[in-house]
């Protein structure tokens, strides 16, 4: 190989390099900001990163001379993030809020796609930092700052529902259930500047409540709906470490029924909030009616569970009826067989066992409770139980094949019913459906209004007026509890205890005896038994 050949090759290599620089430059041109701060230009790769939310465009705003920037440029971004995280915790402990906020800004610019940075630090700001301030307005500002921190995070993680879900939780739970939730909610109602920021992400006009202003619970509903929209789109997300063998495309770190129920539950939360804040009437009834419709619609939605099963919560009654129909077909194969088996078992009981089963459970002695406990394997409640399998075992041979087929179908239905029943229990579906139905009724709203009126009149020194309002309220509450006796142990009944105590107090002021025919005597007896039980428990703990 002569020198001229070597020279030609070098020239060719150099020419190839120069030619490659043009497409590389075209593909890799960085984005720049114009005078208004908007991103302009950029090559194909920069545009793709921007469109897919992969480009930490604010990385250039970090101090280039800082220790964390030096580590990041050396490929040690994880260590730099850990240092910043530690500093943020240290500044929070020392209550150096300016440096704390600055460190968080640097951290989120350094690791914009690390979900835990946004989630954890937003929680830190809204829940931990906010409580360090004495005045509720200052606490509100830090709660809001945590929410704004999360909103910024969604710009870099648009394909992940987790931050959107967290925004729903912060906006609803933190503003709506904190000790100062009344003040927080009012500040939120009047915070037009914050509403403008929210409008960049959700349509705040859709969240206007009873006062015509945005309500935190209804804004929370919008965030949850956005989270569901992202999840349904089928975009791969990593809420937690994925199992390599899993084919699931989404990990919400939350059960499917809970996840899809969240938006509907916010309407119930909104109805509860305004019932507490406003005079119960048409507005509160309308809110509860909305919540009832939301839950009814949710009950008809198809929900895919983790095991691949698809359920509808409202299907439970239908499936239970189908099970009963199949059992009737099984019993029809040999009429009277199930009852004969039951009587055979009953005949084998001793006199003591029969007496224990015949005694109501509240009146049983300790010995009788022990006897009944030993019979639990053959009881359903306090009745002798005969299983479907036992019926099939006693069928004639020519009917057993049909009996086994019916049992197979019954077991399939029972498995489906158990799955639905378990998911209904997770969200207390039956209770909230019933509660919202009762609360939207005119009698319930009037009963609440009269109780509140009685409390107001007592506080204003009008015992005669308070007694009249209370007694009118008890008439209405008695109708509610007569129709729904299970509510006596519910929070609806618990809310009445202070007012019943107030009623007794104003009667005492007027030298009137507590009525022996008090219409809520069952409720009063429940309070007494519960208080006695709690006292016994406290004594045992001491």
Which tens digits make up the pLDDT trace of 180-197?
999 999 999 999 999 999
Task: Report the DSSP pairing between strands 32-33 and 39-40.
Answer: antiparallel
Q: Is the pLDDT of residue 346 over 90?
A: no
Q: What's the pLDDT at 65?
A: 38
Task: Note whether 319 and 417 are within 8 A (CB).
Answer: yes
Average pLDDT of the residues in 505-521: 92
Structure confidence at residue 304 (pLDDT): 86
What is the pLDDT at residue 355?
A: 83
Residue 66 CA to residue 80 CA, distance in Å, equals: 10
How confident is the model over 362-367, as a mean pLDDT? 82
Question: How confident is the model at residue 366, as a pLDDT?
Answer: 83
Question: Exposed/middle/buried for 419, CB within 10 Å: 0-12, 13-18, 19+?
Answer: middle
pLDDT of residue 328: 93
Contacts for 121 with CB less than 8 Å, ≥ 6 apart: 88, 104, 107, 108, 149
Instruction: Please tell me the predicted confidence (pLDDT) of residue 48.
Output: 53
Contacts 24+ apart (CB under 8 A), 462-466: 463/506, 463/509, 463/510, 464/510, 466/502, 466/503, 466/506
Rg of the chain on CA atoms, in Å: 33
CA distance 242 to 248: 9
Distance CA 221, CA 129 (A): 25
Q: What are phi and psi of 495, to 5 degrees?
A: -65, -20
User: What pLDDT, on the 0 to 100 scale, is given for residue 360?
Assistant: 83
The least confident of 9-13, 253-257, 478-482, 486-490 is 9-13
Please give the Cα distance from 167 to 170 (Å, whole number): 5
pLDDT of residue 370 exceeding 80, the answer is yes
pLDDT, residue 491, reads 78
Instruction: Label residue 424 by pLDDT band (50, 70, 90).
Output: very high
Strands (DSSP E) found in 213-275: none
d(CA 56, CA 49): 9
Could you tell me which residues are beta bridge partners of residue 310? 304
What letters, b where the CB count within 10 A reaches 16 and e where it falls short, cover 383-416? ebebebeebbeebeeeeeeebeebbeebeebbeb
* Band of residue 249 on the pLDDT scale cut at 50, 70, 90: very low
Any idea which of 350-354, 399-403, 457-461 has the lowest mean pLDDT?
Answer: 350-354
Helix (H) or strand (E) holding 235: none
194: left (phi over 0), alpha (psi -120 to 50) or beta: alpha
pLDDT tens across 32-51, in order? Answer: 655 555 555 566 655 655 55
Residue matched to tokens 């009525």: 515
At 237 the pLDDT is 38
> How far is C-alpha 456 from the geometric centre of its chain's CA atoms?
34
Q: Which two tokens stand for residue 482?
A: 């007569």
Higher pLDDT, 477 or 93: 477
The pLDDT score that the predictor gives to residue 165 is 93
Flag the least confident range among 225-234, 379-388, 505-514: 379-388
Helix axis angle for 497-509 and 521-541, nearest 10°, is 110
Q: Residue 242 has what pLDDT?
A: 36
3-state class of 257 per DSSP? Answer: helix
**Residue 480 banded pLDDT, cuts 50, 70, 90:** very high
**Average pLDDT, integer, range 259-269:** 95
Q: What is the mean pLDDT of residues 305-320?
A: 90
CB 340 within 8 A of CB 294: no
The pLDDT of 101-117, averaged and rounded, is: 73
How confident is the prediction for the chain on average, in pLDDT? Answer: 83
Band (pLDDT 50/70/90 cuts) for residue 253 is: low
As a whole number of angstroms, the distance between CA 508 and CA 463 comes to 10
By CB atoms closer than 10 A (0-12, 13-18, 19+), residue 276 is middle
Side-chain-facing half-sphere of 235: CA atoms under 13 Å: 15
d(CA 200, CA 222): 13
Distances (CA, A) of 499 to 286, 502, 518: 25, 5, 14
d(CA 82, CA 85): 5
Element at 218 (helix H, strand E): helix 216-232
CB 221 within 8 A of CB 168: yes
Query: Which ranges of 74-191 would DSSP assign to H, the alpha helix?
Result: 77-93, 97-110, 115-123, 136-156, 161-169, 175-177, 181-190
pLDDT digits (tens, 9 = 90+) for 52-100: 444 454 444 444 434 454 444 444 556 677 677 777 777 777 777 677 7
C-alpha to C-alpha distances, 233 to 1, 55, 158, 248, nearest whole angstrom: 62, 22, 12, 13
Q: What is the pLDDT of residue 208?
A: 94
- pLDDT average, residue stretch 297-309: 88
pTM of the model: 0.78
What mean pLDDT is predicted for residues 289-306? 93
Average pLDDT over residues 516-528: 88
Nearest in space to 416 (alpha carbons), one of 426, 424, 406, 404? 424
Q: What are phi and psi of 510, to 5 degrees?
A: -95, 5
pLDDT, tens digit, for every residue of 2-23?
666 767 677 777 777 777 766 6
* 521-538: average pLDDT: 81
């Amino acid at each position: 190989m002569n020198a001229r050949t070597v020279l030609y090759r070098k020239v060719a290599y150099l020419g190839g390099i120069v030619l490659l620089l043009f497409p590389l430059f075209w593909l890799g041109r960085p984005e720049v900001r114009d005078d208004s701060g908007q991103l302009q230009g950029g090559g194909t790769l920069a545009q793709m990163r921007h469109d897919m939310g992969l480009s930490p465009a604010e990385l250039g705003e970090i101090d280039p001379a800082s220790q964390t920037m030096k580590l990041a440029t050396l490929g040690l971004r994880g260590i730099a993030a850990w240092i910043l995280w530690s500093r943020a915790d240290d500044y929070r402990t020392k209550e150096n809020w300016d440096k704390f906020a600055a460190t968080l800004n640097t951290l989120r610019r350094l690791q914009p796609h690390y979900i835990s940075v946004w989630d954890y630090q937003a929680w830190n700001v809204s829940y931990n930092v906010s409580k360090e301030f004495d005045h509720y307005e200052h606490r509100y500002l830090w709660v809001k700052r945590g929410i704004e921190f999360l909103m910024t995070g969604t710009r870099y993680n648009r394909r992940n529902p987790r931050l959107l879900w967290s925004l729903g939780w912060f906006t609803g739970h933190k503003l709506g259930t904190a000790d100062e939730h009344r003040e927080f909610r009012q500040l939120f109602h009047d915070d037009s500047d914050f509403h403008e920021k929210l409008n960049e992400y959700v349509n705040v006009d859709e969240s206007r409540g009873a006062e015509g202003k945005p309500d935190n619970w209804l804004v929370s509903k919008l965030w949850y709906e956005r989270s569901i929209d992202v999840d349904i789109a089928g975009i791969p997300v990593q809420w937690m470490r994925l199992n390599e063998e899993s084919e699931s495309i989404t990990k919400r770190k939350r059960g499917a029924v809970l996840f899809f129920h969240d938006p509907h539950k916010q309407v119930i939360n909104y109805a509860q909030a305004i019932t507490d804040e406003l005079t119960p009437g048409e507005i509160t009834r309308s809110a509860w009616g909305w919540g009832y419709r939301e839950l009814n619609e949710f009950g008809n939605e198809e929900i895919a569970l983790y095991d691949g099963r698809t359920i509808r919560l409202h299907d439970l009654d239908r499936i239970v009826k189908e099970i009963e129909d199949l059992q009737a077909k099984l019993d029809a194969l040999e009429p009277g067989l199930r009852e004969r088996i039951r009587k055979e078992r009953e005949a084998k009981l001793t006199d003591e066992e029969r007496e224990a089963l015949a005694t109501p459970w509240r009146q049983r002695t300790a010995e009788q409770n022990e006897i009944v406990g030993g019979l639990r394997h053959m009881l359903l409640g306090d009745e002798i139980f005969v299983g479907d399998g036992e019926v099939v075992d006693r069928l004639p041979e020519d009917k057993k094949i049909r009996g086994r087929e019916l049992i197979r179908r019954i077991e399939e239905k029972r498995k489906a019913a158990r799955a639905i029943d378990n998911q209904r229990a997770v969200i207390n579906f039956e209770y909230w459906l019933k509660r919202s139905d009762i609360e939207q009724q005119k009698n319930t709203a009037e009963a609440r209004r009269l109780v509140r009126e009685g409390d107001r009149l007592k506080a204003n020194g009008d015992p005669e007026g308070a007694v009249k309002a209370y007694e009118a309220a008890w008439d209405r509450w008695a109708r509610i509890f007569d129709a729904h006796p299970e509510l006596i142990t519910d929070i609806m009944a618990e809310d009445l205890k202070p007012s019943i105590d107030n009623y007794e107090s104003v009667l005492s002021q007027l030298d009137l005896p507590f009525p022996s025919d008090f219409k809520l005597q069952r409720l009063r007896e429940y309070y007494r038994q519960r208080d006695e039980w709690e006292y016994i428990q406290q004594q045992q703990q001491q």
